[in-house]
Amino acid sequence: MADADDPAPHTIADAAASFVEEYDDGAATLETVLAVDDDHETWEFAELPLDSGTFGELVSRNIVVKDDGEYRVSSREGVRAGLTGEELADESESTSVSRDLSDVVTVDWRSVGALAGALVFLFVMRLVNYGSVFRDEYVVSPGNDPYYYRYWMDELLAESDGVTDWGVVTSMPDGAAGLRPLTHASNWFVAELLGGDQWAADMVAAWLPVVATLALGVVIYWLAVVVTDDVRVGVASVVLLALMPVHAVYSGVGFLEHRLYQYFWLGVTLLGLAWLAMDLRRRRTVAPTTREAVLGHCRSPWAWLAAVTFGVALALSAHAWGGSILMYIPAAGYVGMKAALDAREDVSPVLANGPLIGGLVVSALLSAFLHLRWGWHESFIAVVPAVVVVGALGVVVIGEGWRRVDHGVPVSVFVGLQVLLTGVALAAFRSNWTEEWGRLRERADDVFFREHHGATETASLFATENSIILEPLAQLGATFYLAIIVLGWAIWVVSRRYEPAWLLLSVYTLFWIALAGFQVRFAAQLAIPMAVLGGLALVYLLAWVDLARLPRPFREGDVDDRGGSPSTRRTAADGGDPEPSIIVSRDWRKLATLAWIALLVCGMSLFFVPSLSAQTAYGDAEVAATVAIEEHALETDREYPDNFVLSPWGDNRMHNFFVNGEASSYSYAANNFDEFRTASDPDDWYDQFEDRVGYVVMPGTSEMPAEMAQTQLHENYGAGGNETDGLAHYQAIYLDEEASAFAVVPGATITGSGEAGEELSLETEVSVSDETFTYERTVTVDEDGSFAVTVPYPGEYIIGDSELEVSMDDVENGEQVVLE
- Specify the pLDDT at position 476: 92
- How far CA 498 is from CA of 259, 278, 289, 309, 345, in Å, comes to 34, 10, 15, 24, 7
Contact (Cβ atoms closer than 8 angstroms) between residue 660 and residue 698: no
Bridge pairing between strands 795-799 and 70-73: unpaired
Q: Which residue ranges in the chain fall short of pLDDT 70?
A: 1-5, 85, 87-107, 406-412, 414, 436-437, 439-440, 442-455, 466-467, 556-588, 721-723
Reported as type and span, the H/E element at residue 599 is: helix 588-616
Cβ atoms within 10 Å, residue 380: 22
HSE, CB side, 13 Å, CA atoms: give it for residue 97: 28
Asked if 782 and 756 touch (Cβ cutoff 8 Å), the reply is yes
pLDDT at 411: 67
Per-residue H/E/C for 664-702:
CCCHHHHHHHHHHHCCCCCCHHHHHHCCCCCEEEEECCC
Instruction: Enter the DSSP assignment of 334.
Output: H
- Taking CA atoms, 636 is separated from 441, 622, 626, 716, in Å, by 47, 21, 15, 25
pLDDT score at 623: 96
End-to-end CA, the chain: 119
What would the DSSP string read from start to end of 305-321?
Answer: HHHHHHHHHHHHHHTTS
Continuous segment of H or E residues that includes residue 804:
strand 802-806
Q: Determine the pLDDT at residue 560.
A: 42
> If we measure between CA atoms, which residue out of 268, 327, 267, 213 comes closest to residue 613?
213
The letter for the amino acid at 762 is L
Look at residue 110 in the predicted model and tell me its pLDDT. Answer: 80
Strand ranges across the sheet with 771-780: 771-780, 759-768, 795-799, 802-806
Environment class of 138 (CB within 10 Å of its CB; exposed 0-12, middle 13-18, buried 19+): middle
Note the pLDDT of residue 695.
97
DSSP calls for 500-529: HHHHHHHHHHHHHHHHHHH-GGGHHHHHHH
* Total residue count of the chain as it appears in this document: 820
**CB atoms < 10 A from the CB of 768, how many?**
18
What span, in angstroms and rounded, lies between the C-alpha atoms of 275 and 229?
11
Q: Is 713 helix (H, G, I), strand (E, B) or coil?
A: helix
Burial code (b: 16+ CB inside 10 Å, e: under 16) for 158-167 equals eebeebeeee
Quick one: DSSP state of residue 731?
A: E
d(CA 113, CA 122): 14
Pairing of strands 695-699, 138-139: unpaired
CA-only gyration radius of the chain, Å: 34
**What pTM did the predictor assign?**
0.84
Q: Sort residue 65 into left (φ over 0), alpha (ψ -120 to 50) or beta.
A: beta
CA distance 198 to 179: 25
DSSP class per residue in 169-222: HHT--HHHHTT-HHHHHHHHHHHHHTTSSHHHHHHHHHHHHHHHHHHHHHHHHH
Q: At what angle do helices 52-60 and 26-39 cross, to 10 degrees?
A: 80
DSSP element (H, E) containing 788: strand 786-791
Alpha-carbon distances of 750 from 657, 720, 760, 778, 807, rounded to whole Å = 35, 17, 12, 12, 12
CA angle 782, 786, 787 (to 5 degrees): 75
Give the closest residue to 153 by CA, choosing from 178, 194, 189: 189
The secondary structure of the chain in percent helix, strand, coil, rounded to multiples of 5, reads: 60, 10, 30
Q: Which is nearest to 603 in space by CA: 243, 81, 207, 242?
A: 243
